[in-house]
Amino acid sequence: MEIEFWWLLALPLFFALGWLAARIDIRQVVKESRSLPRSYLSGLNFLLNEQPDKAIDAFVEAVRIDPHTVELHFALGSLFRRRGETDRAIRIHQLLVDREDLSEEQRLQALGELGQDFLKAGLLDRAEAVFVRLRGTPANDVALRYLLEIYQQEKDWAKAIDVAQALPQHESHLWRTEVANFHCELAAAAMANSRPDEAGGHLERAFVVNPRSVRASLLLGDLHAANGDDEAALEAWKRVENQNPIYLSLVAERVMEAYGRRGLVEQGHQLLSAWLSSHASLDLLDELFHWEMEREGPKAAYELVREELRRNPTLLGLDKLLEAALLAAPVEQRGDIELVKQLIHGHTRRVARYRCDACGFKARQFHWRCPACGGWETYPPRRTEEFDLVP
């Protein structure tokens, strides 16, 4: 195959063009590196040598020398916020917001960072003002999420409902759970201030948002009981078994008191016994244990716990068994039982706590909203020991 003559002329030309392009790139890199402030390079060197404090000082100096390093401003501001130095973060991001040479995208980013600074510093009103300003912009979704966090911290549940319903995925299970709890918070406040009609309206809206809201059923039962309608209250509380039986322990005491007011104590005892048989729960066992102790005596309480221990062996159950045995035992045997009970009780303190399903936070008291991660209904009324028993 013959090679045309012009190809021979083109090959050296291609090599020359490639060499020239490489030289231009190298010169550009050298030029850009020389234009960087010396303190910027020093900061990188400190980072590589694991000297973060000196690196921060060097970057601050670089920003002072060359105020056009926008990305470095953002990086420093975020770093200061993570370190808890919110005053410095606010100053940096406020300077960016006030600059006139930023693009619209950069300005929105600076506003969002400034709002997070205010939020981290606990300046909720200023953070709210920033994120309200971002609504209707390309940063709208981010602004809504931070506004929702702010309104929950402020316990402004009406505004929280409006913001949650404006979120893109407000129809998801997560948001239905949250909005239902916001309505429950409003209902609980109305009940505390003797406004039953208002409370009932909020509970109705909670059921519309989330028909399986356990908390709404519990509050509705409380509302009926406060109005003297124990039959309606029991109907509301019994609904919890179909919604989520884990929460039955929260209504157990209420159910027993309502049956007691109606003169149907034995019927209430049978209901709780059936619940315990179908849905093992240490808190349910505790409620029945105290009922047996008060009405039937230590021997009946002992038999109840012994039977439950055969089905679900737990240290907390054993602690209850020893408590009943101690009261029922002859005087001469109580010393040994008391010794064993004290040893067991020392271990039960570690397993008698509630635990958040989302973050693992543990506490002795039940919360509808986890104090650590802020998740709603992620903190079930189930003791730590029970997580090993129930899949």
Tell me how far apart the alpha carbons of residues 154 and 219 are, in angstroms, rounded to a whole number. Answer: 22
Q: DSSP per residue over 10-36, as a string?
A: HHHHHHHHHHHHHHHHHHHHHHHHHHS
Write a three-state SS string for 38-71. HHHHHHHHHHHCCCHHHHHHHHHHHHHHCCCCHH
Spell 295-333 as b/e; 16+ CB within 10 A means b. Answer: eeebebbbebbeebeeebebbbbbbbbbbbbbebbeeee
Tell me how far apart the alpha carbons of residues 27 and 33 are, in angstroms, rounded to a whole number. Answer: 10
| Residue reference for tokens 């981010």 | 142
CA-wise closest residue to 286 among 377, 386, 371: 386
Is residue 370 marked as binding?
yes
The answer to whether 110 touches 96, Cβ cutoff 8 Å, is yes
Phi, psi of 297 (to 5 degrees): 100, 175
At 299, list the tokens. Answer: 């021997």
Is residue 359 marked as binding?
yes
Contacts 24+ apart (CB under 8 A), 358-367: 366/250
The answer to whether 94 touches 125, Cβ cutoff 8 Å, is no
Residues tagged in the binding site annotation for Fe cation: 356, 359, 370, 373
Residues tagged in the binding site annotation: 356, 359, 370, 373
